[in-house]
Amino acid sequence: MAGAAISPLMSLFVLETQKTMFTLPHWQIAYSRSSLVVILLVIFICTLSAYLASRQVIKGLPAVFLRGKTKKVHHIFLEKVPLFWNRISDETKWAIRDAFINRVRVLMGIVGVAGSMMLLIAGVGMPISMNHLVDKAYNTDFLYAKRLTVANYNQAAKTY
């Protein structure tokens, strides 16, 4: 809902930033049916995945799920190497054991950090790339030695 309220304002902001770089005869925000279908599909998939992930919790008693489960003590192969294991601190032992036991959580953390870094780099690099592209297009690629000036554009448009 927040996206539906904010998107018209953001669209106007994006159009205003693009007007300084490009010259078009008519600037208008256009929403198509395909974008509406994509939005509804994303909402459906997100709702379905949230329901499927939480359906067991919905059926049970809240106190049972808030209490949690008792976990078994897991030993990892590094504990069998006393030369290494006895030299590290307890905090490091805990972190290593947790990383080996919860591999999916560690992998999701790595993917999340890598994705965030990619978004930051793209966010910094895209404006620079676009400004360079516009500068290159109008100052390097489209340099002409001749210029044609038309006194009556409508007459020239009918003729040609």
Q: Are residues 35 and 20 in the same domain?
A: yes
Q: What is the model's pLDDT at position 13?
A: 84
Q: Are residues 136 and 88 in the same domain?
A: yes
Whether the CA torsion 36, 40, 45, 46 is positive or negative: it is positive
Q: Are residues 50 and 87 in the same domain?
A: no
Residue ending a domain, among 52, 68, 84, is: 68
Q: Are residues 78 and 114 in the same domain?
A: yes
Residue ending a domain, among 26, 47, 68, is: 68
Q: Are residues 49 and 78 in the same domain?
A: no
Q: Is the pLDDT of residue 140 over 80?
A: no
pLDDT band per the 50, 70, 90 thresholds, residue 49:
very high
Domains in the chain: how many in total?
A: 2
Q: Are residues 62 and 110 in the same domain?
A: no
Contact 21, 139 (CB under 8 A): no
Longest dimension (CA), the chain: 92
Q: Are residues 89 and 108 in the same domain?
A: yes
Q: What is the model's pLDDT at position 111?
A: 97
Residue ending a domain, among 21, 36, 68, is: 68
Contact 100, 107 (CB under 8 A): no
Q: Is the pLDDT of residue 118 over 80?
A: yes
Q: What is the model's pLDDT at position 51?
A: 93
Cα–Cα distance for residue pair 146/101, rounded to 1 Å: 71
Range(s) of the domain holding residue 90: 71-159
Rounded to an integer, the average pLDDT of 67-81 is 79
Q: Is the pLDDT of residue 145 over 80?
A: no
Q: What is the model's pLDDT at position 81?
A: 87
CA atoms within 13 A on the CB side of 14: 9
